[in-house]
């Protein structure tokens, strides 16, 4: 069964009705890593938000299913429990909530949903210790408040750590590379790569090809003005790097729904 199946998805900003996604078609099978590239404002982050159930968007047309279930009918927390994980572009600081407590609460909520036994403090700390090594997360950060006072790199590593602990079926990484220097990028990417296990699907959203040197995708899609205008293998990313996005933006959209001839 396909992990994620999106067809003709249209979505607008709730507040002013501006349409951002104008007919997205995308299929992710278990184990596949897809990269979604595109210029600023093309709708990359909006797609991530809509898939994760963030309030503020309205789906006006189309569908999205996760393991055959209607994803769009699920509240955000159910999507998370079913196995969708969004690594935020801008992780939120939560003063007063320790990283460890937060992660354990989240994991046990997810495990309960999956009918797995909850982990007690000792078992959880053992698991956390193992996963923290994966992303080279210092113990001090685990005991601090969630993301509070973290550097950009620490915040992104914390996202990958959460992903490792929650063990999702589909991970959506929203510009995980933004704001990272090359060392921080390598650490985050190696954490992500360690989670590629042939079953987990990934949607890696990025503006730059750079990240894809470290997380090598099976497929690359280019988003422009709310539609996927080109798909290909990893060489497409290289081509974009060389030619820039303007080359793509001039291509006519292939999908019938949006094929307004120029």
Partner 1 sequence: MTSAARPKALYEGVAALSEKAADFAAARPAPPWLQKLRRTGLAAFERQGFPSTNDEDWRFTNLAPLTRAVFALPPDDVSLAERTEALEMEARLGTIGFSASEPRLAFVNGRRLRRNVGPLPPGIFFEWMGTVLRDSPELVEKALVASAAAEDRARSSFAALGDAFLDEGVVLRVAAGVRLEEPLFILHVSTPPASSEAPRMVHTRNLFSLAEDSSATVIEAYLGSSGPSFMNARTDVSLARSARLHHIKLQLEGTESFHVGTLAVAHAAGATSASHVFSFGGKLVRNEVAIGLAGEGAATELNGLFCANSGQHVDCHTLIDHVAPRATSTELYKGVLDGTGRGVFDGRIAVRRGAVRTDARQTNRNLILSDNALVDSKPQLEIENNDVRCSHGSTTGRLDADAVFYLRSRGLSPEAARALLTYAFGSEMIEKLASADVKAFLEGRLRAWLPAKLATPENR
- Burial code of 103-135, b = ≥16 C-beta within 10 A, e = fewer? bbebbbebbeeeeeeebeeeebeebbeebbebb
Helices 121-134 & 152-166 angle (0-180, nearest 10): 130
Burial 230-254 (b: 16+ CB within 10 A, else e): beeebebbebbeeeebeebeeeebe
Among 2, 65, 108, 231, binds partner 1 (CB under 8 A): 108
Give the contact letters, 141-160, x = binds to partner 1 (CB under 8 A), - = no. Answer: ----x---------------
Tokens linked to 2: 């396909």
Segment near partner 1 (CB under 8 A); pick from 22-30, 118-126, 206-214, 231-239: 118-126
Determine, following the binding rule CB under 8 A, whether residue 178 of this chain makes contact with partner 1: no
The nearer residue to partner 1, 98 or 231, going by C-beta atoms, is 98
Q: How far apart are CA 167 and CA 234, in angstroms?
A: 26
Query: What is the torsion angle, in degrees rounded to the nearest 10, for the CA atoms of residue 20, residue 23, residue 29 and residue 34?
Result: -50
Per CB under 8 A, does 162 bind partner 1? yes
User: Among the candidate windows 26-34, 101-109, 207-215, 229-237, which touches partner 1 by CB under 8 A?
Assistant: 101-109
Q: Which region among 20-28, 30-38, 102-110, 193-201 touches partner 1 (by CB under 8 A)?
A: 102-110
- The 3-state DSSP class for residue 181 equals coil
CA atoms lying within 13 Å on the CB side of residue 242: 5
What are the residues facing 227 on neighbouring strands? 224
- Minimum distance, C-beta of residue 116 to partner 1, in the bound complex (Å): 13
129: tokens are 């210790």
CB of 188 to partner 1, least distance (A): 18
* Residues in contact with partner 1, shown as a per-residue x/- string from 122 to 141 under the rule CB under 8 A: --xx----------------
Query: Number of residues in contact with partner 1, rule: CB under 8 A?
Result: 35
> Interface with partner 1 includes 54 (CB under 8 A)?
yes
Which of these segments, 109-117, 150-158, 186-194, 245-253, binds partner 1 (CB under 8 A)?
Answer: 109-117
Which residues would be at the binding site for partner 1 (CB under 8 A)?
Answer: 52-55, 75-77, 80-81, 85-86, 88, 91-92, 94-98, 100-102, 104-106, 108-110, 113, 121, 124-125, 145, 162, 166
């Amino acid at each position: 069964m396909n992990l994620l199946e999106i067809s003709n998805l249209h979505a607008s900003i709730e507040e002013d009705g501006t349409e951002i996604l104008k007919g997205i078609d995308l299929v992710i099978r278990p184990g596949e890593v897809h990269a979604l590239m595109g210029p600023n404002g093309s709708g990359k982050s909006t797609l991530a938000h809509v898939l994760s159930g963030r309030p503020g968007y309205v789906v006006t047309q189309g569908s999205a299913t996760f393991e055959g279930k209607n994803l769009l009918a699920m509240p955000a927390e159910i999507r998370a429990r079913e196995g969708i994980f969004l690594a935020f572009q801008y992780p939120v600081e939560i003063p007063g909530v320790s990283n460890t407590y937060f992660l354990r609460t989240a994991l046990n909520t997810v495990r309960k949903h999956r009918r797995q036994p909850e982990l007690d403090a000792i078992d959880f700390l053992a698991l956390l210790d193992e996963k923290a090594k994966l992303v080279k997360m210092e113990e001090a950060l685990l005991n601090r408040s969630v993301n509070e006072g973290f550097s950009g790199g620490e915040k992104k590593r914390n996202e990958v750590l959460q992903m490792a602990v929650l063990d999702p079926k589909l991970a959506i990484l929203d510009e995980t590379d933004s704001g990272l220097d090359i060392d921080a990028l390598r650490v985050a990417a190696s954490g992500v790569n360690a989670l590629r296990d042939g079953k987990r699907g990934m949607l890696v959203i990025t503006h730059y090809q750079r990240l894809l040197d470290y997380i090598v995708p099976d497929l690359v899609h280019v988003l422009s003005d709310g539609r996927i205008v080109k798909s290909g293998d990893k060489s497409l990313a290289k081509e974009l790097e060389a030619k820039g996005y303007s080359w793509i933006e001039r291509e006519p959209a292939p999908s019938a729904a949006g094929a307004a001839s120029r």
